[in-house]
A and B are shown apart, each in its own frame.
Chain A
Amino acid sequence: SAVISQKPSRDICQRGTSLTIQCQVDSQVTMMFWYRQQPGQSLTLIATANQGSEATYESGFVIDKFPISRPNLTFSTLTVSNLSPEDSSIYLCSVEGGGRAYNEQFFGPGTRLTVL
């Protein structure tokens, strides 16, 4: 199973600024995913990030707001731009691969973002 770390674990940001979240995996993986979990809510997929190609965004999420980089098979970043209080959420990355089950994903611990 993959081990995933995220930085920072939490941050408090001012509105109008940006935050870049890093996701590091201990093994090479093809598919990485970014999710948002708003307070008390379930997870919502933001985008799928494959190395060597542009990220694929879900409905309601756009690249200008959530630019993603995927420079290699073990690392990705998600930037949340032009922050507003509505962006206060937990952001999680996940990877697929190495699991016992079909489509099994392994999740990082999340980054808790608070926007003032």
Chain B
Amino acid sequence: LAKTTQPISMDSYEGQEVNITCSHNNIATNDYITWYQQFPSQGPRFIIQGYKTKVTNEVASLFIPADRKSSTLSLPRVSLSDTAVYYCLVGGEYGNKLVFGAGTILRVKS
């Protein structure tokens, strides 16, 4: 399973755009890149998934360069409620398993 590396933590202010980059140098051809969000005292929830180029939904955008060795989760105009842990996961080749890395703690300040 491809290992992921993310920053341990990031700080931001309300209204700013936040970009969290994840490195996954050993990503396999069949692997998708998925991001989950976890609030305190809750289970993780799916944010976005992509395979290549750019994906956008109502919550975030995901940028994936051509070599797919990294990806960037972009959160536009964050609010205090976006304070959470964000996990980057890479998988697909090994079926249904989700392997969570350490995640990035995002703190949004007013």
Task: Enumerate chain A interface residues (CB-CB to B < 8 A).
Answer: 4, 31, 33, 42-45, 48, 92, 94, 96, 99, 101-110, 112
Contact = CB atoms under 8 A, between A and B. Distances in A.
Interface stretch (B20-28, B37-45, B72-80): B37-45
Given A103-B34, A103-B92, 10 more contacts: A43-B44, A44-B100, A48-B97, A99-B46, A101-B32, A101-B48, A103-B96, A106-B45, A108-B43, A109-B41
Given A44-B100, A103-B91, A103-B98, A109 B43 contact: yes
B32 A94 contact: no
Contacts, number: 57
Nearest to A101: B49
B2 interface: no
15 contacts: A42-B101, A42-B103, A45-B99, A48-B96, A94-B43, A99-B46, A101-B32, A101-B34, A102-B49, A103-B95, A103-B96, A104-B49, A107-B43, A107-B44, A112-B41
Contact of A42 (B92, B97, B100): B100
Interface in B27-81: 32, 34, 41-46, 48-49
B92 A102 contact: yes
A110 B38 CA distance: 12
Majority-rule SS of B interface residues? loop
B32 A103 contact: yes
A50 to B, nearest CB: 10
A18 B91 CA distance: 34
Nearest to B57: A100
Most chain B CB inside 10 Å of its own CB: which residue of A33, A48, A105 = A105
Contacts of A43: 44, 98, 100
Query: Which 9 A-B residue pairs are closest in the complex by CB-CB distance?
Result: A107-B43, A101-B49, A43-B100, A42-B100, A104-B46, A92-B43, A107-B44, A102-B32, A42-B102
